[in-house]
Amino acid sequence: MKKIHVTTTVNDDNVEFLCDPRETLLDVLRDRLNLTGAKEGCGTGDCGACSVTVDGRLVCSCLVLGAEAEGKKIATVEGIAKGEELHPLQHKFIEYAALQCGICTPGILVAAKSLLEKNPDPTETEVRYWLAGNLCRCTGYDKIIRAVMDTAADMREAS
């Protein structure tokens, strides 16, 4: 099958790749660009482990075609830390034990970061509904929700 040539930006790097029209953005990130931070938990939009942003909008990369990345700005979990410096959410997740196995963590961090950019002062209910598409089977969400709320509080104080 004829492959499609795509030029795009991932975590501020210019990248080019060839992909089959059926390949998803998640397939491309993982298998062609070696960015395995986004995970496939379901492939059908139900678990959020593959969360990335496309032009700043939070999406499931398993529900975007690789071909659709043309000319877009993609951001993944690999781009959250700036060099050695972790994002406050990343610090807080470690400190609060907000991960057990950690497979959901990349998606949740991408989603939570996107929430705090839109709403720096979310209520517990808002955090829970925003993250409802990010399944975590290990933690019961308690420590995740606390980590997001407390990061938000810290970031408000710092700004």
Q: Which does 21 bind (CB under 5 to 8 A by kind): ligand FES, another protein, ligand FAD, none?
A: another protein
Q: Which does 59 bind (CB under 5 to 8 A by kind): ligand FAD, ligand FES, another protein, none?
A: another protein
Q: Give yes or no for residue 153 binding another protein (CB under 8 A).
A: no
Cα separations in angstroms, 71 against 5, 7, 43, 91: 11, 6, 24, 32
Shortest Å distance, C-beta 12 to ligand FAD: 28
Tokens 């951001």 appear where?
75
Q: Which does 88 bind (CB under 5 to 8 A by kind): another protein, ligand FAD, ligand FES, none?
A: none
Cα separations in angstroms, 110 against 3, 6, 30: 29, 24, 16
Cβ proximity of 62 and 43 under 8 Å: yes
Where in 33-72 is the site for another protein (CB under 8 A)?
34-49, 51, 54, 57-60, 62-65, 67-68
